[in-house]
Amino acid sequence: MISCINLKKNYRVGHTEKRVLKGVNLSIAPGDRIGLLGRNGAGKSTMIKLIGGVEMPTSGKVHREMTCSWPLGFNGGFQGSLTGYDNARFIARIYGKDYSEMRQFVEDFTELGRQLRMPVKTYSSGMRARLAFALSLAIEFDCYLIDEVILVGDKNFQEKCHYELFERRKDRAILLASHSMDSIKEFCNKSAVLQDGLLTEYDNVDEGLAIYQTL
Amino acid sequence: MQPVKKALQAWRIQQRVIVALMIRELTTRFGRENIGFLWIMAEPMLFAVLVGTMYSIMIGEQEHGVGVIAFVASGYIPLTVMRNSFGRIVSIFLVNGALLYHRQVRVLDFILVRFLIEMVGGMMAYLFVGTLLIAFDLFPVPAHIGFFLAGWSLYMLFVFSLCLVIAPLSEMSEVLEKLMPVTVYIAIPLSGTFNMVSWLAPAARDVVLWSPFVNGMEMMRYGLFGDAVRPYYNIWVPLGASAVLAVIGLALCRRVRRTLVVE
């Protein structure tokens, strides 16, 4: 169970404060697959960063009673100047995971071959998405935080993600921020809509999507 | 029992993170080609030897009864560790931001890791330069190695606690980043790099002895040259100053982390 209690987040912009989240509550139970909806700038990424512990809330609390991945996105979580292998090695080290296993998994999952020996900054966004997923799937988490990234992959990658996340790890929780209604429909069983710094949870996907379309 | 167990586990995780960060830092900075991370000792070494040689040509081989090259090397190597640590610590939260995606990585780890790399590099350079110069009879075999190490530790402790303050401050104000190089050069006369306290007038002694660097440096010099020099020091100056700075630094780090924007 992960629960966010009255999360508020302000960003300083020059001399004024921009209030992005104004008291958000959300709980993620094991097995929940929540689609996070909202317009550009509504605070979806901020929300995911707070839950992942990347940034700290201005006030409020995040209680994590299950393990939770870092936010999967195009940047963050890995270092552009290092190679794919170096990043894998770093992550294996800080999460106390055996590197040879990690390497095997990353090679199989990403199918990037020799490209893994190149610095990550030379990767396309699809390749980054593959690497980000491979690295976090190699470490077992109870909850995966996914910020958009799932959508950029090709068909083969989407199928792999589907298998790894939704068949092999059926019992895990997922928070997926996305603008793609199709993927939310496909992957999620609950939805949450961010609007004006507040969040509304819906027990099914259709209701949330209907609200989202009216925004 | 529970809190002890928890603390132990947290410490193990931090250890893992620090090791991983050090390896990562060394590979990004020095790469895997040629002599790799041995480069870290090349710079202080060249500095010490070249400046030392220049000085000995300018002012002769001995000054106040100690070899000039040895004296300059003993002052310059700690100074390069100080200067490089400060230079590397500025904007460090921003530079390493991507790593904060992993919750077990703390901002303090960044500071500790960069400082440790500089310090270990400095120690290796010192060992190498010292051995080389001893072979040519240009450097004394340390008279009191314990004294030397105590002085080194105090000096480095103070550098580290300053790093704890500089890192968050550089995040709060960009002015600091511009001022940093200047202040380090102003610090040279106050760090004991070029002189012993005993060479100064009594009034000046009282002033420079308030500098934690000078106290550490005096101890190092006594440890090296033994009774050829007369050291002035008070270990409580570096210890006290470090404790105060560390408390301020930790509080600042905590504050800055709360509002840090990670890309």
What is the pLDDT, as a whole number, of residue B255?
94
Shared domain for A63 and A150, answered yes or no, is: yes
Q: Does A70 touch chain B (CB under 8 A)?
A: yes
The total number of structural domains that make up chain A: 2
- Could you write out the DSSP letters of every residue in chain A? -EEEEEEEEEEEETTEEEEEEEEEEEEE-TT-EEEEE--TTSSHHHHHHHHHTSS--SEEEEEESS-BPPPBSSSSSS-TTSBHHHHHHHHHHHTT--HHHHHHHHHHHH--GGGGGSBGGGS-HHHHHHHHHHHHHHS--SEEEEESGGGGS-HHHHHHHIIIIIITTTTSEEEEE-S-HHHHHHH-SEEEEEETTEEEEESSHHHHHHHHHH-
Selecting from B20, B98, B259 the residue whose C-beta is nearest the C-beta of A75 gives: B98
What is the pLDDT, as a whole number, of residue B30?
80
What are the residues of chain B with a beta carbon less than 8 Å away from any beta carbon of chain A? 13, 16-17, 19-20, 23-24, 27-28, 97-105, 257-263
pLDDT in tens, A37-67: 999 889 999 999 999 999 999 999 999 999 9
Residue A78 — pLDDT band, cuts 50, 70, 90?
confident
What is the pLDDT, as a whole number, of residue A28?
95
What is the pLDDT, as a whole number, of residue B61?
72
Shared domain for A54 and A35, answered yes or no, is: yes
Shared domain for A84 and A187, answered yes or no, is: no
Q: Where a domain ends, among A119, A139, A159?
A: A139
Q: Where a domain ends, among A123, A139, A155?
A: A139
What is the pLDDT, as a whole number, of residue B33?
67
Shared domain for A13 and A53, answered yes or no, is: yes
Beta carbons of B99 and A79 less than 8 Å apart = yes
Shared domain for A191 and A210, answered yes or no, is: yes
pLDDT > 90? residue A179: no
Q: Where a domain ends, among A86, A108, A139?
A: A139
Residue-number span of the structural domain to which A174 is assigned:
1-69+141-215
What is the pLDDT, as a whole number, of residue B34?
65
Shared domain for A1 and A27, answered yes or no, is: yes
pLDDT > 80? residue A176: yes
Shared domain for A64 and A154, answered yes or no, is: yes
Beta carbons of B262 and A55 less than 8 Å apart = yes
Shared domain for A215 and A186, answered yes or no, is: yes
CATH code for the domain in which residue A23 is found: 3.40.50.300
> How far apart, in Å, are the Cα atoms of A35 and each of A162, A174, B3, B227?
15, 8, 37, 75
What is the pLDDT, as a whole number, of residue A73?
81
B-chain residues near A52 (CB < 8 A) = 101, 103
Shared domain for A145 and A215, answered yes or no, is: yes
pLDDT tens across the length of chain B (263 residues): 688 988 999 899 999 999 999 998 888 888 766 676 777 777 777 877 788 788 888 877 777 778 888 888 899 899 989 988 999 999 899 888 889 999 999 999 999 999 999 999 899 889 988 998 899 888 899 999 999 999 999 999 999 999 999 999 999 888 888 888 788 788 888 888 888 999 999 999 999 999 999 999 999 999 999 999 999 999 999 999 999 999 999 999 999 999 999 87
Shared domain for A85 and A121, answered yes or no, is: yes
What is the pLDDT, as a whole number, of residue B36?
67
Distance, in Å, from the CA atom of B138 to the CA atom of B19, rounded to the nearest integer, reads: 37
Beta carbons of B100 and A54 less than 8 Å apart = yes
φ/ψ of B238, rounded to 5, equals -65, -40
What is the pLDDT, as a whole number, of residue A190?
94
Shared domain for A16 and A122, answered yes or no, is: no
> For residue A94, what is the nearest residue in chain B, using CA coordinates?
B17
What is the pLDDT, as a whole number, of residue B1?
62
Shared domain for A147 and A169, answered yes or no, is: yes
Model ipTM? 0.91
What is the pLDDT, as a whole number, of residue B164?
97
pLDDT > 80? residue A75: no
